[in-house]
Every structure is written in structure tokens, then in C-alpha cells.
Amino acid sequence: ETGVTQTPRHLVMGMTNKKSLKCEQHLGHNAMYWYKQSAKKPLELMFVYSLEERVENNSVPSRFSPECPNSSHLFLHLHTLQPEDSALYLCASSQDWGFRETQYFGPGTRLLVL
């Protein structure tokens, strides 16, 4: 495996629920990422954290709220989502932040919003 784990692997939630996705990396990396993967669309970068500081919020709606309590853990808090938010949410990490750094992806959380 890649050294990046994500839980839960599958999640079904109603539009009024609040849930959280968790990512943990065991690689000693300094940068972590959240991506959204929808069918027939390119991977969309949502958030980047470098040394626990948010580097970029890529125009993501406020119903998605990231949290990075330390360099090994990354959360994505979800509230009042819409059906179009249903997708595979991927976490990744890299040694440092930068596009030349190899990103290691977790298996993803498959989210269904009803």
C-alpha cells in the first residue's frame, strides 16, 4: 500500500447530516491534499496543507471544512452537502509542497449524498 489511509471507505449521508472524513499518512511527509474525483471529470484539487498550514483553498464551498491538527492527519468536515457533492474524495501526501513532489494517494472515501 501507499502509506496513506482513509476512513471511512464508504459513506452515505443526508443533506442535513454532518460527517467527517479522515486521512492519515505514515510516510513522514510535510504536505497533505484533498481531491475530489467525479465521473468523467479531472481530479479537482480542493485543499493543500503544508506543515499544518493551509496553503490554498481552491474555491471550495464552505460546506467543506478541512482540518489539519498535525502533519500526519487531515480531516474533511462535511455539512449540509448537496447531491452533486457525491464523489470519491481522495487524500494525498508528499514530502514537501510543490508540483514536482510525488504525491501518494490514499484509496479514497466514496461519498453518496441523498
Partner 1 sequence: GENVEQHPSTLSVQEGDSAVIKCTYSDSASNYFPWYKQELGKGPQLIIDIRSNVGEKKDQRIAVTLNKTAKHFSLHITETQPEDSAVYFCAASINTGFQKLVFGTGTRLLVSP
Point out which residues bind partner 1 (CB under 8 A): 2, 4, 40-43, 45, 48, 55-56, 58, 90, 92, 97-100, 102-108
**What is the nearest approach in angstroms of partner 1 to the Cβ of residue 41?**
6
Of the pair 53, 99, the CB lying nearest partner 1 is at 99
Q: Which of 17, 47, 1, 37 is nearest to 114 (CA)?
A: 17
**What is the nearest approach in angstroms of partner 1 to the Cβ of residue 33?**
9
CA distance 7 to 106: 10
Alpha-carbon 21 to chain mean position: 7
**What is the nearest approach in angstroms of partner 1 to the Cβ of residue 105?**
3
- CB 87: neighbour CB atoms within 10 A? 19
Of the pair 32, 90, the CB lying nearest partner 1 is at 90
Of the pair 16, 100, the CB lying nearest partner 1 is at 100
SS3 track for 75-108? EEEEECCCHHHCEEEEEEEECCCCCCCCCEECCC
Of the pair 17, 45, the CB lying nearest partner 1 is at 45
CA distance 99 to 114: 35
